[in-house]
A and B are shown apart, each in its own frame.
Chain A
Amino acid sequence: DQQVKQNSPSLSVQEGRISILNCDYTNSMFDYFLWYKKYPAEGPTFLISISSIKDKNEDGRFTVFLNKSAKHLSLHIVPSQPGDSAVYFCAAKYGNNRLAFGKGNQVVVIP
């Protein structure tokens, strides 16, 4: 049973426009959420995180929004750049050190 779901497996966006990635979760015990970016043949790179007690966290071009009542979070990238083309994973923390990952979204930024 997948507890973290990322639908719409791929997204194409024009350079300079906004990329929005969505993530839904089912386990209300998740208390911390993270987004990772992954290039082919590399390990995931941590991007941004948010605690369940907050509804927004911003870091440069990246903003994560959390809607606890809907069990939904989203990642906004603005403006999108060609170097943002990668697979993006949503992850949720549970227990002491466990992360549950979504299946990932492929983002392609068109120059």
Chain B
Amino acid sequence: DTEVTQTPKHLVMGMTNKKSLKCEQHMGHRAMYWYKQKAKKPPELMFVYSYEKLSINESVPSRFSPECPNSSLLNLHLHALQPEDSALYLCASSLGRPTSYEQYFGPGTRLTVT
């Protein structure tokens, strides 16, 4: 089973709203990632959690707040977003071991900020 699930599939939010994106995997992976992808562009790394600790923050604005409640779950809390934050938000996971680097992606959440 190489499945990463994400909810919701689509989200429309106003600039004053607070919302959360959720990601779940049950593959025993210990590294989890948030990416942002704009149309016709490659995914851009936002955050990495390794063994439930934040290990990489790619200088993401504080209106995006990640959370890793346990090794299977990853959240991305959104607050006071801008229209330019509209994108496909992808969650991924990997084993987190030095010899295994494949990242498995979820289907994404299509976010529209109005």
Contacting pair B105 A45 (CB below 8 A)? yes
Contacting pair B50 A101 (CB below 8 A)? no
Task: List the interface of chain B (C-beta within 8 A of A).
Answer: 2, 4, 6, 31, 33, 40-43, 45, 48, 50, 55-56, 88, 90-92, 94, 96, 101-108, 110
Contacting pair A104 B107 (CB below 8 A)? no
**Bound complex: CA A85 to CA B40 (Å):** 15
Given contacts A41-B110, A43-B90, A43-B108, contact A49 B41 (CB under 8 A): no
Q: Tell me which of B42, B50, B96, B101 contacts A89 (CB under 8 A).
A: B42
Contacting pair B101 A104 (CB below 8 A)? no
- Interface residue A69 (Cβ < 8 Å from any Cβ of B): no
Q: Which among A42, A44, A45 has the highest number of chain B CB atoms within 10 Å? A: A44
Contacting pair B105 A99 (CB below 8 A)? no
Contacting pair A102 B45 (CB below 8 A)? no
Chain A hits for B88, CB < 8 A: 41
